[in-house]
Amino acid sequence: MADLLIELFSEEIPARMQARAGEDLKKRMTDGLVEAGLTYAGAHALTTPRRLTLAIEGLLDHSPTVREERKGPKVGAPDKAIEGFLRGAGLSRDQLEERDTPKGAVYFAIIEKPGRPAAEIIAEVLEDTIRNFPWPKSMRWGAGSLRWVRPLHSILCVLTREDGSEVVPLDIDGIKSGDATWGHRFMAPARISVTSFEDYAAKLKRAFVVLDPKEREAAIWQDATNQAFASGLEVVDDKGLLAEVAGLVEWPVVLMGSIDAEFLDLPPEVLQTSMKEHQKFFSVKNPKTGRIEKFITVANRETADNGATILAGNQKVLSARLADAKFFWENDLRIAKSEAGMEGWLESLGNVTFHNKLGTQAARIDRIAALAREIAPVVGADADLAEQAAKVAKADLSSEMVYEFPELQGLMGRYYAEAAGLPQEVANACELHYSPLGPSDDVPTEPVSVTVALADKIDTLTGFWAIDEKPTGSKDPYALRRAALGVIRLVLENGVRVALAGVFTQGYEGADESDLLSFFHDRLKVFLRDQGIRHDVIDACIAMDGNDDLTLLVKRARALEAFMSSEDGENLLQGFKRANNILSQAEEKDGVEYSYGADKKFIEDAAEAALFDALAANEGAISSAIEAEDFAAAMGGMAALRAPVDAFFEAVQVNSDNQVVRRNRLNLLSQIRKVCGQVADLSRIEG
């Protein structure tokens, strides 16, 4: 057994590409080695801005000898057929074996592929991996043909055994493999020779390189939070930024700087976004006021002045950036507070195309406002406020701040609406009408915000349905699945009772409401399946009337799921299916429908009478419970049928020789189907 160490050392790799590149290196190398017959015990990849590293443990020294037997043409077959078989097998005719088979004498080829040394296989697989590496973007440099994300400087490839280590020989466009790497670009740029992964990791750490990105992340976060805590402040959590910054440095040095006083009154979200997007700085806030007062930057080296020069340079650049943000903010506020208010922004949206088949943003805003007015009573919102909020919700798209930072749309709308003196419900709707954007986002609860959020998403969905731009397979360029899930969560988490099919008719004209409702049902299945509700239970409830009222549908599904998870539910389902099967077969055979109800005077068995009485006693109660939307009570009535249904099938033969009795019993089965069918279409439930 041997251990393999590979390092591909280059100019700086973009942080966003590093994690994927490490996984690609691991997968391509291990897949290639296993395919060539070299199995291994374990493998892990690590990355820094300048290197991709792969360590493989417990690798075989040689690939095993493989013996393959191939059946060929019959003895006496045409020469061309035999020659073709020989070429494929790589043998001559005298190396073939003749064997008798039930179909006559046949040629067989015995092909032996001898094992090969690990180093030979590694060199082949590594060269193929490097030459065909799946970088999102790559480049060529110099006179060579090799493409890499940035110029590749060296290849370290060392195979380590108990008796020592060896370099796996490799030459790709003049880059020869070796046992050397280099430490930190500034703090330890000297050449380092290594013999194993342990030796490599230890020497790099001494050369100011933290190899593991997770270790760099932990070090950055710990130092940042400690420095902030010492000043009575706290770092704004941002896991995405943390991962990105860890991909920019090999030796993280955390520095905390101050923001000039003239910028402290900017909205905290503006400060945070500007520092993150332009400078990759963490925001540090005062927990008592919520103001962003300082920033954290991460340098890639230690300096004699403890980072003072670096910090001064960063603060100078930051001040220039924030001066731009302050100008945008003050200019936007001036417009929002003017006599015209946000109207000028709205007028300019008449020149902004939403979609070439769906018109401008201004036209879309008019549709959303009209739809919001219609939806408002159902949600419990003031129709005038909902319409007003829908008209100004997207006005900030024309503001300078949102033009610079599109991710602040909605949030800046709230600030500007407040500055314009609009009602607070309207301002809140400006911020929240995009929500929820994902499965973990908070859902708006204020009626006006819920109304505008629903109108916005339903206009989007009906519009794209009308122009036949629906999601296909894994492609969803307009995020329509996300919009549908947003509607589902808005409706369910706010308990909104609305018939969606009717709302769709008030959306963009020309949408296929039935097809769109089916799309919603598919998204609802995914949403509820994540909450533990079986797809067949959902299907059974979707088959009922009122399936466009999602709140009612989900209430029914939850009750049915709980009932079907009980012993009564499981047994009653079997009884229902048995009754339905017998009844369906009889109706098909007889060409009639048994739906007139059983007559007690034709009952012959006590179990039959008990079922008759149980159905009569519970049918009305179940109907009343369903009418009152008390599905738990309806399931309780269903549970009361379990014992008499079981007893009936145990004691009674439905297909009696007496045709009058047979018809009466079939009508009794029809009663079972009718009573149970009030709750859900149980025929759709598996089991």
Question: In the prediction, which pLDDT does 136 show?
Answer: 95
Q: How confident is the model at residue 209 (pLDDT cuts 50, 70, 90)?
A: very high
> Cα(467)–Cα(367) distance, rounded to whole angstroms?
16
User: What global pTM score does this model have?
Assistant: 0.79
Question: In the prediction, which pLDDT does 489 show?
Answer: 95
CA 436, distance to chain mean position in Å, is: 15
Q: How confident is the model at residue 574 (pLDDT cuts 50, 70, 90)?
A: confident
Q: How confident is the model at residue 569 (pLDDT cuts 50, 70, 90)?
A: confident
> Cα(524)–Cα(557) distance, rounded to whole angstroms?
11
Check the CA dihedral 177-183-189-194 and report its sign: negative
- Structure confidence by residue, pLDDT tens digits, 167-189: 999 999 999 999 999 999 999 99
Paired residues of 52 in beta bridges = 8, 47
User: Residue 299: how many CB atoms within 10 A of its CB?
Assistant: 18
Q: How confident is the model at residue 100 (pLDDT cuts 50, 70, 90)?
A: confident
> Cα(412)–Cα(394) distance, rounded to whole angstroms?
10
Higher pLDDT among residues 572 and 523, named by residue: 523
Residue 37 · residue 12 · CB < 8 Å:
no
Q: How confident is the model at residue 660 (pLDDT cuts 50, 70, 90)?
A: confident
Question: In the prediction, which pLDDT does 176 show?
Answer: 95
- Structure confidence by residue, pLDDT tens digits, 69-96: 888 888 888 888 888 888 888 788 788 8
Question: In the prediction, which pLDDT does 653 show?
Answer: 87
> Cα(7)–Cα(179) distance, rounded to whole angstroms?
9
Question: In the prediction, which pLDDT does 412 show?
Answer: 96
Question: In the prediction, which pLDDT does 434 show?
Answer: 96
Q: Could you give the count of Cα atoms lying within 13 Å of 303 in the half-sphere of its Cβ? A: 13
Element (H, E) at 314: helix 308-337
Q: What CA–CA distances, in Å, run from 594 to 109, 607, 669?
A: 70, 20, 9
Task: Give percent of the chain above pLDDT 90.
Answer: 68
Alpha helices in 591-658 (DSSP H): 606-627, 631-639, 642-651
> Cα(618)–Cα(570) distance, rounded to whole angstroms?
19
User: Residue 277: how many CB atoms within 10 A of its CB?
Assistant: 14
Name the nearest CA neighbour of 61 among 120, 119, 6, 118: 118
Question: In the prediction, which pLDDT does 341 show?
Answer: 84
Question: In the prediction, which pLDDT does 439 show?
Answer: 84
Alpha helices in 507-549 (DSSP H): 513-529, 535-542
- The structure tokens listed for 283 are 């925001």
Question: In the prediction, which pLDDT does 129 show?
Answer: 96
The mean pLDDT value for 276-290 works out to 94
Question: In the prediction, which pLDDT does 390 show?
Answer: 96
> Cα(451)–Cα(496) distance, rounded to whole angstroms?
10
Whether residue 683 is predicted with pLDDT greater than 90 in this model: the reply is no
Q: How confident is the model at residue 294 (pLDDT cuts 50, 70, 90)?
A: very high
> Cα(308)–Cα(95) distance, rounded to whole angstroms?
79
> Cα(238)–Cα(216) distance, rounded to whole angstroms?
15
> Cα(211)–Cα(198) distance, rounded to whole angstroms?
12
Question: In the prediction, which pLDDT does 91 show?
Answer: 81
Check the CA dihedral 29-31-35-39 and report its sign: positive
CA dihedral of residues 326, 328, 332, 333 (deg, nearest 10): 0
Whether residue 111 is predicted with pLDDT greater than 80 in this model: the reply is no
Name the nearest CA neighbour of 197 among 218, 185, 179, 213: 179
What three-state secondary structure class fits 270?
Answer: helix
Question: In the prediction, which pLDDT does 143 show?
Answer: 82
- Structure confidence by residue, pLDDT tens digits, 336-391: 999 888 888 999 999 999 999 999 999 999 999 999 999 999 999 999 999 999 99
Q: Where is average pLDDT lowest: 250-259, 418-427, 434-443? A: 434-443
- Structure confidence by residue, pLDDT tens digits, 229-242: 999 999 999 999 99
- Structure confidence by residue, pLDDT tens digits, 124-172: 999 999 999 999 999 999 888 899 999 999 999 999 998 889 999 999 9
Question: In the prediction, which pLDDT does 611 show?
Answer: 86
Question: In the prediction, which pLDDT does 334 show?
Answer: 95
Q: Is the peptide bond before 436 cis (omega within 30 degrees of 0)?
A: yes
- Mean of the per-residue pLDDT values of the chain: 92
